C-alpha cells in the first residue's frame, strides 16, 4: 500500500505491524480489537510467519515472551480487561528485557465493563499493572495515520531498548476509518545477536530470567533498568503542541481525545480566547519538562480525558507554577461532544477568568 486508503484503526495497526517486520503474532479475540488478529491470521499464514490463536490472553503474552527471546519482532493485541490478564508477563518482559509490542484498544472498565471506547487504562499502562519497579514505553495515537506511524515506532523502540512497548489506542480509533498511507518502514534494524536465544553454537549458553536469589545482583539489575528508563525519559519524549505559542489556557488531552479537543481550541480562538492544546504522544516517557516550561506562562490548564482524571495526576505533577488545573471528563461511551466540552469549559472560564473575554 503506497497510496491513501480508507483504513480502520485496527487494520492500520495490523498492516503497519507487518510492514514493520512483525514475525510473530499471538492473540485471543476481544471487542473492539478483534480485526487485528483476523487481518493478521490471513496475512501471516500467507507469509509463513508465526501466528497462534492462543487459548487465552495469558497464553498469548507468554508465547510473545518466548518468541521475543529469540530476537524476533513480536506483537500481541487485546483490550482493557484482557490486558489486565497480561500484566504478570509484562512485568517479566521488563525484567527480562524482552521487546514485545502490546496493542491495547481500550474499552470500558472496570472489570468486564463493556465494549464502549474509553481511556481508562492510562494508569495501568504508564504506572505498571504488574509487580515491581518497571516501566513500559507507552505510545498514544490520535488518528489512523498515527496508528500506522506509532506501530512502526513501537517495534523500533521495543528493539532499541529491549523493553515492551504498549500502543495505547481506544475503541473509537480501532473501529473508525480515515484515509492513511502505509509507507515503507523508516526505522533502522537493531542488531540483537548479542543476547537472543538461538542455540549455544560457538558461544557459552545464554539464560534469560527474572528470578535472582542474590540480593546484590537483583538490586543491581533493577538499578540498571532504572538507568535505561532514565535514558528513555531523556531521549524519547514526544508530544504535539497546537496554538500554544501565546496561549493563556491550554487543554491537555491524549489519544483520540487529543484530536477532538482541537475543534474546541478552534472554537475559542474564533472568539478571541487564547487557547492551545498540548497532546502527549508518548505517555511514558511523559513530556513533563515541556509541560512545566509552559506552565510558567499559562494561566489555566484544562485536562480532558475519557476517564475520571488519570493523566490529570501527571499534568498536576508537571506544573510547579500558580497555574490552575481543571478537569473535564467522562468515564466511557460516546466520546465527549464538542458542545459538551465547550459547555464545561465555559463554566471553568466563567469561574476563573471573568475578565478575559
Q: Which residues lie near other proteins (CB under 8 A)?
A: 4, 6, 23-24, 26, 31-32, 48-50, 52, 54-56, 58-60, 62-70, 72, 74, 88-89, 92, 96, 115, 171-172, 175-179, 197-202, 204-211, 256, 259-263, 266, 334-335, 337-340
- Separation between Cα atoms, residue 243 and residue 269, nearest integer Å: 9
Exposed / middle / buried, residue 284 (Cβ in 10 Å: 0-12, 13-18, 19+): buried
Other residues' Cβ atoms within 10 Å of the Cβ of residue 176 = 16
Cβ 28 to other proteins, closest distance in Å?
11
Choose between 14 and 319: whose C-beta lies nearer to other proteins.
14
Give the DSSP H/E element, type plus range, for residue 102: strand 101-108
Choose between 69 and 77: whose C-beta lies nearer to other proteins.
69
Residue 263 DSSP SS3: helix
Q: Which three cell numbers stand for residue 308?
A: 475520571
Cβ 223 to other proteins, closest distance in Å?
21
Q: Which three cell numbers stand for residue 85?
A: 490478564
Choose between 47 and 322: whose C-beta lies nearer to other proteins.
47
Residue 244 neighbours by CB under 8 Å, 6+ apart: 250, 276, 277, 278, 294
Cβ 243 to other proteins, closest distance in Å?
13
- Separation between Cα atoms, residue 168 and residue 105, nearest integer Å: 6
- Separation between Cα atoms, residue 284 and residue 163, nearest integer Å: 12
Choose between 53 and 289: whose C-beta lies nearer to other proteins.
53
- Separation between Cα atoms, residue 117 and residue 170, nearest integer Å: 6
Choose between 256 and 282: whose C-beta lies nearer to other proteins.
256
- Separation between Cα atoms, residue 237 and residue 285, nearest integer Å: 6
Cβ 315 to other proteins, closest distance in Å?
21
- The phi, psi pair for 228, rounded to 5°, reads -65, -45
- Separation between Cα atoms, residue 349 and residue 82, nearest integer Å: 40
Choose between 17 and 232: whose C-beta lies nearer to other proteins.
17
Cβ 236 to other proteins, closest distance in Å?
26
Cβ 348 to other proteins, closest distance in Å?
20
Cβ 49 to other proteins, closest distance in Å?
5
Cβ 322 to other proteins, closest distance in Å?
30
Choose between 21 and 356: whose C-beta lies nearer to other proteins.
21
Choose between 31 and 41: whose C-beta lies nearer to other proteins.
31
Residue 328 neighbours by CB under 8 Å, 6+ apart: 302, 303, 304, 336, 341, 344, 345, 348
Q: Which of 257, 248, 260 is nearest to 310 (CA)?
A: 257
Choose between 26 and 284: whose C-beta lies nearer to other proteins.
26
Residue 140 DSSP SS3: coil
DSSP string computed for 106-162: EEE-STT-EEEEB-TTHHHHHH-SSSSS---EEE---SHHHHHHHHHHHHHHHHHHT
Cβ 44 to other proteins, closest distance in Å?
9
Amino acid at each position: 500500500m503506497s497510496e491513501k486508503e480508507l483504513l480502520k484503526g485496527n487494520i492500520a495497526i495490523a498492516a503497519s505491524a507487518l510492514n514493520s517486520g512483525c514475525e510473530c503474532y499471538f492473540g485471543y479475540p476481544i471487542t473492539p480489537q478483534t480485526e487485528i488478529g483476523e487481518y493478521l491470521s490471513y496475512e501471516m499464514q500467507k507469509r509463513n510467519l508465526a501466528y497462534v490463536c492462543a487459548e487465552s490472553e495469558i497464553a498469548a503474552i507468554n508465547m510473545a515472551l518466548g518468541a521475543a527471546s529469540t530476537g524476533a519482532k513480536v506483537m500481541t493485541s487485546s483490550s482493557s480487561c484482557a490486558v489486565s490478564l497480561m500484566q504478570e508477563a509484562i512485568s517479566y518482559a521488563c525484567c527480562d528485557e524482552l521487546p514485545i509490542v502490546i496493542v491495547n484498544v481500550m474499552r470500558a472498565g472496570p472489570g468486564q465493563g463493556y465494549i464502549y471506547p474509553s481511556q481508562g487504562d492510562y494508569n495501568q499502562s504508564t504506572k505498571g499493572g504488574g509487580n515491581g519497579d518497571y516501566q513500559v514505553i507507552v505510545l498514544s495515537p490520535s488518528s489512523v495515520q498515527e496508528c500506522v506511524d506509532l506501530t512502526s515506532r513501537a517495534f523500533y523502540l521495543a528493539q532499541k531498548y529491549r523493553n515492551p512497548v504498549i500502543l495505547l489506542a481506544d475503541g473509537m480509533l480501532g473501529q473508525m476509518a480515515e484515509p492513511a498511507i502505509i509507507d515503507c518502514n523508516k526505522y533502522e534494524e537493531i542488531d540483537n545477536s548479542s543476547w537472543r536465544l538461538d542455540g549455544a553454537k560457538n558461544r557459552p549458553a545464554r539464560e534469560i530470567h527474572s528470578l535472582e536469589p542474590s540480593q546484590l545482583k537483583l538490586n543491581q539489575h533493577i538499578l540498571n533498568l532504572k538507568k535505561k528508563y532514565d535514558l528513555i525519559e531523556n531521549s524519547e519524549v514526544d508530544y504535539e503542541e497546537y496554538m500554544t505559542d501565546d496561549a493563556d489556557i491550554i487543554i491537555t488531552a491524549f489519544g483520540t481525545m487529543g484530536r477532538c479537543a482541537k475543534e474546541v481550541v478552534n472554537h475559542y480562538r474564533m472568539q478571541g480566547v487564547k487557547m492551545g492544546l498540548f497532546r502527549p504522544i508518548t505517555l511514558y516517557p511523559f513530556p513533563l519538562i515541556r509541560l512545566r516550561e509552559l506552565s510558567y506562562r499559562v494561566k489555566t490548564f484544562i485536562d480532558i480525558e475519557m476517564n475520571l482524571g488519570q493523566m490529570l495526576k501527571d499534568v498536576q505533577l508537571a506544573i510547579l507554577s500558580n497555574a490552575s488545573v481543571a478537569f473535564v471528563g467522562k468515564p466511557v461511551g460516546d466520546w465527549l461532544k464538542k458542545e459538551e466540552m465547550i459547555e464545561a469549559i465555559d463554566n471553568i472560564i466563567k469561574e476563573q477568568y471573568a475578565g478575559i473575554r
